[in-house]
């Protein structure tokens, strides 16, 4: 499967149906899911299969955007997910695009989240021509706040998303050099 993008240590690609068991090992972990979406872990492999089926179906609907699998280059193992996705919003305005990243617990503390976030921001601006990218974090998630800051996003405020009060960070194409590293995106 062709990669969406690559970094020095990671390959970002589309999810495949046969990723469900390994994805469940990540998204079924309550510790991993604490700050993802509603904060609830996937209850079963079947649930993860259904989620991946919906994600895969959306690839054709939103060219260039999506929720993708992240593999470690050295081992080839699936270590998480990354996304550039439109947020629900006002029907009269174009949707804002959110950068997101999730990692298996065993992949924490290795700088992968920052590597993914930087690469996704760069991909969004350079390959997709986006003008603005936002990141959302639970206020108490200090690690994710640091990742967004390292990716060049700046805190804008706090608002309600997905039924939670979240901090919103953003970066605009006019400040792109501050938003993304000069690392190649593959």
pLDDT in tens, 159-181: 988 888 999 999 998 765 545 55
- The SS3 assignment for 11 reads strand
Q: How far apart are CA 22 and CA 40, in angstroms?
A: 17
Q: Is 109 exposed, middle or buried (0-12, 13-18, 19+ CB in 10 A)?
A: exposed
Residue 184: predicted pLDDT? 47
62-85: average pLDDT: 95
H-helix or E-strand containing 120? Answer: helix 112-126
Which DSSP category does 87 fall into?
P
Q: What percentage of the chain reaches a pLDDT higher than 90?
A: 74
pLDDT digits (tens, 9 = 90+) for 45-61: 999 999 999 999 999 88
Buried b (16+ CB within 10 A) or exposed e, 20-37: bebbbbbbbeeebbebbe
Buried b (16+ CB within 10 A) or exposed e, 127-161: eeebebbbbbbbeebeebbebbeebbbeeeeeeeb
In the predicted model, is pLDDT for residue 182 greater than 60? Answer: no
Q: So what's the pLDDT on residue 90? A: 66
According to the model, what pLDDT value does residue 169 have?
A: 97
Query: What would the pLDDT profile of 117-132 be if each residue is shown by its tens digit?
Result: 999 999 999 999 999 9
pLDDT higher than 90, residue 104: yes
Q: Measured over all CA atoms, what is the biggest interatomic distance in the chain, rounded to whole angstroms?
A: 45
Chain centroid to CA 157: how far?
A: 20
3-state secondary structure of 79: strand
CA distances in angstroms from 148 to 35, 44, 49, 168, listed in the order given: 14, 30, 29, 10
Domain 3-179, CATH number (from 3.40.1050.10, 3.40.50.12240, 3.40.920.10, 3.40.630.30): 3.40.630.30
- Please report the pLDDT score of residue 42 as a whole number: 93
Lowest model confidence (mean pLDDT) among 33-37, 128-132, 142-146: 33-37
Arithmetic mean of pLDDT, 34-51: 88
Buried/exposed 54-67: b ≥16 CB within 10 Å, e otherwise: ebbeebeeeeebbb
- Confidence (pLDDT) at 30: 86
Q: Which residue has the higher pLDDT, 149 or 89?
A: 149
Per-residue pLDDT, 183: 52
Average pLDDT over residues 39-43: 86
Verdict on whether the full-model pTM lies above 0.75: yes
pLDDT of residue 50: 95
Average pLDDT in the chain: 89
Structure tokens at 43: 């209850």
């Amino acid at each position: 499967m062709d990669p969406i993008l690559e970094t020095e240590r990671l390959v970002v690609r589309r999810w495949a149906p046969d990723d469900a068991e390994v994805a469940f090992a990540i998204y079924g972990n309550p510790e991993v899911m604490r700050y993802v979406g509603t904060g609830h872990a996937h209850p079963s492999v079947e649930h993860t299969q259904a989620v991946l089926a919906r994600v895969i179906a959306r690839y054709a609907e939103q060219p260039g955007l999506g929720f993708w699998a992240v593999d470690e280059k050295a081992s080839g193992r699936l270590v998480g997910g990354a996304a550039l996705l439109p947020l629900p919003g006002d029907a009269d305005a174009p949707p804002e695009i959110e950068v997101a990243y999730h990692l298996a617990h065993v992949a924490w503390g290795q700088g992968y989240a920052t590597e993914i976030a930087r690469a996704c921001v760069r991909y969004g601006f350079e390959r997709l021509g986006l003008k603005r990218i936002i990141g959302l974090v639970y206020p108490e998630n200090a690690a994710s706040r640091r990742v967004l800051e390292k990716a060049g996003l700046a805190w804008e405020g706090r608002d309600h998303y997905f039924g939670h009060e979240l901090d919103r960070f953003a970066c605009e194409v006019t400040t792109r050099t501050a938003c993304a590293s000069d690392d190649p995106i593959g």
